[in-house]
């Protein structure tokens, strides 16, 4: 019990240190560009947390998260620009639009499995991007639309205030993911990922749970889209295109799919790494691709998975040092064998 209490205290202390470091980051950064990079880390951490729930924990491989990313951004912008809604109403309404869209397409699509589901959801994302680029009168076409700044009344939020809002959203989404994992819903999702038929035989309503996690992941992707729109102050069809999907997949692989903090670690590495490689000029893409390939080969479980393995090994080693266990056990002598040997010796001596 004491060891369990100590581990919980250490975990909470680690969380507090992480939060404190993230909050103090704007005081250390020297330019607005660096603050923007930190804000982008938050955006992609939010997006990948939703995908991590959907695929990493529930085993539903959806390639349409970038579509909900774009839907959230466009709904948020259109409600403010076309309908003149204030930020406080446009924000939750945009998330509601993502939930309704996920519900509408999720009912028919979630009957598919594996690569069939991946292809169907990928087509959804590409279709939305095509509609956004061609419906010029409504969406602005390929030029996109300007996004109003985040404001509360007459007060317009600064870049630093926006960073803190995105940081709070990131930690809330991560906390929600970790809470779900530890509940009955998380255990049901884990059972579904292992074997849907076996989960159904244990009383899990597979269809309902798949739809729930699909809608939740879509809402989280919409939240990331709204965040990116506020950061860029513009929304355009590129929000729903293939590069967003590739970035998301890269982050979850580097961070660790199916881990608690993989999306955050992956977002930090994948977002910041290209900044350090910019000095290599034309070789930047080549070096980045080679590093990613080596990472996939030698760190297959991602950063979070590797760190967890190291922590588990350290705990096992510490437990062995603290409690080495009983000494060597000497087996009791077998009396039947001793008697047999004595009889044999006596017989040979008599001969």
* Model pLDDT, residue 30: 82
Kindly write down the DSSP assignment for every residue of 214-234, as one continuous string: HHHHHHHHHHHHHHHHHHHTE
Written as six digits, the tokens of 106 are 């999720």
pLDDT at 7: 64
pLDDT of residue 274: 83
User: Facing residues of 261 across strands?
Assistant: none
3-state secondary structure of 128: helix
Question: What whole-number distance in Å separates Cα of residue 62 and Cα of residue 43?
Answer: 19
Q: What local confidence, expressed as pLDDT, does residue 254 receive? A: 92
Name residues of the chain where pLDDT drops below 50. 332, 334-340, 342-344, 346-351
Output the pLDDT for position 278. 77
CB of 296 closer than 8 Å to CB of 250: no
Residue that has been written with the tokens 């660096």 in this structure? 34
Nearest Cα to 142, choosing from 160, 130, 124? 130
Evaluate whether 148 touches 234 at the Cβ level (below 8 Å): no
Tokens of 335: 């009396």
Reported pTM: 0.87
Please tell me the predicted confidence (pLDDT) of residue 48. 96
Contacts of 258 (CB under 8 A, 6+ apart): 52, 56, 57
Per-residue pLDDT reduced to its tens digit, 121-169: 988 888 888 889 998 888 888 888 999 988 777 778 889 999 999 999 9
Instruction: Determine the pLDDT at residue 251.
Output: 93
At 344 the pLDDT is: 45
Percent of the chain predicted with pLDDT > 90: 42
CB neighbourhood size of 242 (10 A): 14
pLDDT at 2: 56
Task: Tell how far CA 345 is from the center of its chain.
Answer: 74
How does the average pLDDT of the chain come out, rounded? Answer: 85
**Residue 98: which of 127, 121, 69 has the closest Cα?**
69
pLDDT of residue 343: 40
Local structure of residue 327 (DSSP, 8 states): -
Question: Contacts from 32-41 at CB under 8 Å and sequence distance 24+?
Answer: 32/159, 35/159, 35/160, 35/163, 36/159, 36/231, 37/271, 37/272, 37/275, 38/163, 39/159, 39/162, 39/163, 39/166, 39/231, 40/228, 40/231, 40/271, 41/267, 41/268, 41/271, 41/272
């Amino acid at each position: 019990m004491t060891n369990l209490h100590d581990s919980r205290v250490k975990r909470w202390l680690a969380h507090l240190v992480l939060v404190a470091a993230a909050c103090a980051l704007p005081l250390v950064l020297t330019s607005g560009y660096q603050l923007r990079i930190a804000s982008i880390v938050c955006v992609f951490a939010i997006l990948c947390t939703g995908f991590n729930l959907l695929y990493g924990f529930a085993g539903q491989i959806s390639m349409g998260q970038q579509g909900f990313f774009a839907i959230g951004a466009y709904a948020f912008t259109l409600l403010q620009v076309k309908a003149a809604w204030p930020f406080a109403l446009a924000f939750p309404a945009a998330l509601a639009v993502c939930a309704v869209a996920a519900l509408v397409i999720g009912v028919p699509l979630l009957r598919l499995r594996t690569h069939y589901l991946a292809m169907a959801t990928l087509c959804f994302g590409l279709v939305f991007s095509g509609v956004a680029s061609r419906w010029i009168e409504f969406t602005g076409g390929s030029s996109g639309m300007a996004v109003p700044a985040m404001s509360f009344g007459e007060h317009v939020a600064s870049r630093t205030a926006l960073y803190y809002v995105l940081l709070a959203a990131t930690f809330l989404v991560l906390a929600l993911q970790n809470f779900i994992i530890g509940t009955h819903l998380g255990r049901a999702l884990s059972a579904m990922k292992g074997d849907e038929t076996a989960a159904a035989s244990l009383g899990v309503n597979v269809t309902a749970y798949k739809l729930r996690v699909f809608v939740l992941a879509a809402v989280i992707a919409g939240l990331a889209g709204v965040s990116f729109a506020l950061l860029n102050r513009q929304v355009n069809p590129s929000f729903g295109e293939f590069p967003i999907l590739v970035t998301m997949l890269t982050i979850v692989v580097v961070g660790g799919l199916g881990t608690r903090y993989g999306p955050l670690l992956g977002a930090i590495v994948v977002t910041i790494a290209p900044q350090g490689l910019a000095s290599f000029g034309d070789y930047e893409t080549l070096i980045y691709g080679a590093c990613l390939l080596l990472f996939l080969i030698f760190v297959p479980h991602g950063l979070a998975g590797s760190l967890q393995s190291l922590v588990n090994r350290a705990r096992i080693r510490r437990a062995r040092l603290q409690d080495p266990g009983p000494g060597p056990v000497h087996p009791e002598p077998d009396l039947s064998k001793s008697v047999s040997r004595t009889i044999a010796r006596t017989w040979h001596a008599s001969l």
